[in-house]
Amino acid sequence: MTVAVIGGGITGLALAHRLRARGTSAVVLESTSRVGGNVQTHARAGYLLEAGPNSFLDREPTTRELAETLGVSSRIRPADAAAKNRFVFTRGALRALPASPPAFLKSDILPLASRLRVVGELFSRRNPTGSDESLAQLGRRHLGREATSVLLDAMQTGTYAGDPEQLSAEATFPQLVKFEREHRSLILGAIRAQRAARQAKAAGSVQAGPGLTGQMSTFDGGLGVLVDALAKALGDAVRTDAKVEGLERSAEGWKVRFQERGQPAELTASHVVLAVPAHVAAALLRPLDAELARQADSIPYAPIAVVHLGFAPGAVPKPDGFGFLVPAVEGKAMLGTIHVSTTFPFRVEGERVLLTCLMGGARRPDVVARDEDALAALAREELKTMAGIAATPELTEVIRWPRGIPQYTVGHLERLAAMDERLKRWPGLHLTGNAYRGVGVNDCIREATRLADALGGEAAGTVRSA
Ligand SMILES: Cc1cc2nc3c(=O)[nH]c(=O)nc-3n(C[C@H](O)[C@H](O)[C@H](O)COP(=O)(O)OP(=O)(O)OC[C@H]3O[C@@H](n4cnc5c(N)ncnc54)[C@H](O)[C@@H]3O)c2cc1C
């Protein structure tokens, strides 16, 4: 069996690595000159910059296992203790997110009436329709209007940069839907789940699982450490500057046509895995199966811009906490800011301060269309208004992702089921990556691992593809 993996992001690399570890021949075709996709780390003038993801929650066993296999697990670095504080910009000020229910009741994160409404969650109803609904609908039923537009909105912004009126509750926060189904109240569900996790831990049960939380972490050289280690382990099984342009069924399985350093090339494989963004998968699928292509193309993306602002030692005070999130009701272009030098102090030299501002998102696509200077100016202006940081940075870098984060809109899981059904017509063809079953780095690695294992054990059963 030979597997052609299209796309050398974290998904494609982790998949190929796992396949090869299982003795299956796999080759990765990556269109650009470098692997990693969204994961890109580079050092510049005393700062370690991430163009895409900054961290992962160290609770996913497959990510740990991958790091261990690659010999880089000792390089995992948890966030500094100072990063436990998080803030939300609401009602004109940065306010600390309370860490416990009693702290929430005493805090000023929401006005008193809205805090009391959250307590009323204990008496809330289940989804009367039983079918998928938007995150905002779920939130309003349980937490009330204001907690939804401030807290739930901030929570989803931190992962999806999305629009909670559009996002599917079930696909984006399955744990909340599970709590509702099993316990009616989200608060009761969370309390009982925490209690069960504590009991399982105390009993030393192997069933305890990874738990609900995990430590936010990166590697000592940024997330690029993982990508570099994968690229090294895969060696010449990764072909860069290899842009796939077409797929055809062949006697051996699949023929993949691509441009390699400007020259037409092709290879045959028994299986093809599309580990590319959904719109790229759609373009490759269209000549084969217009319906499957339409389904893939209906997964939208939120554009996002990353603005790094680096401040010389002493130019600004070291900000407290992990950073802050900005709910959409505030009407800002900024989604949030990560206090990188507080969270991961080793990512700056000396006493420099590095802030990474995230701008745009599903509700402000216009922002990401602006040029880099305008984006940097906007980030600085809003940082001044919201956090009082007015100093001139010594480093400014802007990265734009026109298709940043896939949006799992209402009906996403049904769409995946329909795609799975459709894929049955195409034996040996598989779809994976952040567009389907999780947008985080952990999700990508978990799904890649699952698919590799299913392919490796294919003779034993069916392979879930999308
Ligand atoms: C700004 C930003 C911040 C984020 N922050 C976090 C975070 O802090 N934590 C977290 O867990 N996640 C975060 N994420 C999400 C996470 O980074 C991504 O979901 C994940 O890296 C996606 O990996 P992937 O391999 O599925 O896709 P991609 O990274 O998109 O990789 C797909 C690859 O396919 C290649 N390709 C495209 N077309 C072709 C073609 N025709 N032929 C061959 N190759 C092709 C692309 O060049 C690319 O390398 C963030 C994402 C962004 C954009």
Higher pLDDT, 210 or 146: 146
Give the residue from 148, 177, 205 where a domain finishes.
Answer: 205
Q: Is residue 397 part of a domain?
A: no
Residue 361 to residues 31, 58, 320, 431, 460, Cα–Cα distance (Å) = 25, 26, 25, 25, 43
Residues 251 and 108 in one domain: no
Distance CA 19, CA 158 (A): 32
Residues 109 and 140 in one domain: yes
Q: Is residue 166 part of a domain?
A: yes
Residue of minimum CA distance from atom 5 in ligand 1: 53
Residues 152 and 234 in one domain: no
Distance CA 112, CA 91 (A): 13
Residues 282 and 133 in one domain: no
**Nearest partner of 440 among 19, 30, 29, 59, judged by Cα:** 59
Query: What is the phi/psi pair of residue 309, to 5°?
Result: -125, 120
Give me ligand 1 centre to Cα 345, in Å: 25
pLDDT of residue 202: 85
Q: Which of 286, 399, 441 to mutate to test the pocket of ligand 1 (most atoms within 8 A of CB)?
A: 441
431 lines ligand 1 (CB under 6 A): no
Give me ligand 1 centre to Cα 276, in Å: 8
Q: Is residue 271 part of a domain?
A: yes
Does residue 294 have a pLDDT over 50? yes
Looking at the DSSP bridge assignments, the partners of residue 355 are 309, 339
Does residue 459 have a pLDDT over 60? no
pLDDT of residue 198: 86
Rounded mean pLDDT of 315-319? 96
pLDDT of residue 200: 85
| Average pLDDT across the chain, whole number | 95
Does residue 298 have a pLDDT over 50? yes
pLDDT of residue 194: 87
% of the chain residues with pLDDT over 90: 91
Residues 133 and 168 in one domain: yes
Residue of minimum CA distance from atom 34 in ligand 1: 7
- pTM, to two decimals: 0.95
* CATH code, domain with 154: 1.10.3110.10
Give the residue from 151, 170, 205 where a domain finishes.
Answer: 205
pLDDT of residue 464: 53
pLDDT of residue 458: 65
**Nearest partner of 322 among 304, 337, 300, 307, judged by Cα:** 337
Tens digit of each residue's pLDDT (9 = 90 or more) over 50-104: 999 999 999 999 999 999 999 999 999 999 999 999 999 999 999 999 988 889 9
Cβ-contact 246, 281 below 8 angstroms: no
Residues 239 and 197 in one domain: no
pLDDT of residue 465: 54
- Using pLDDT thresholds of 50, 70 and 90, give the confidence band for residue 205: low
Q: Is residue 250 part of a domain?
A: yes
Q: Which of 40, 434, 445 to mutate to test the pocket of ligand 1 (most atoms within 8 A of CB)?
A: 434
Give the domain extent around 25.
Answer: 2-38+222-299+409-460
Q: Is residue 466 part of a domain?
A: no
Task: Return the number of other C-beta atoms located less than 10 Å from residue 287's C-beta.
Answer: 11
Residue 283 to residues 287, 337, 399, Cα–Cα distance (Å) = 8, 34, 25
pLDDT of residue 461: 36
Structural domain total, the chain: 2
Rounded mean pLDDT of 349-354? 98
- Using pLDDT thresholds of 50, 70 and 90, give the confidence band for residue 368: very high
Rounded mean pLDDT of 423-433? 97
Q: Is residue 270 part of a domain?
A: yes
38 lines ligand 1 (CB under 6 A): yes
Q: Is residue 370 part of a domain?
A: no
pLDDT of residue 411: 98
**Nearest partner of 118 among 133, 98, 96, judged by Cα:** 98
Residues 169 and 228 in one domain: no
Residues 113 and 197 in one domain: yes
Cα 59–chain centre separation: 14
Rounded mean pLDDT of 200-224? 76
Rounded mean pLDDT of 231-236? 98
* CATH code, domain with 429: 3.50.50.60
361 lines ligand 1 (CB under 6 A): no
Does residue 463 have a pLDDT over 50? no
Give the residue from 205, 239, 260 where a domain finishes.
Answer: 205
440 lines ligand 1 (CB under 6 A): yes
What length is written for the chain?
Answer: 466
Distance CA 286, CA 247 (A): 10
Residues 280 and 417 in one domain: yes
Tens digit of each residue's pLDDT (9 = 90 or more) over 97-151: 998 888 999 999 999 999 999 999 999 999 999 899 999 999 999 999 999 999 9
Q: Is residue 400 part of a domain?
A: no
Residues 144 and 287 in one domain: no
Residues 150 and 295 in one domain: no
What one-letter code names the amino acid at 267? L
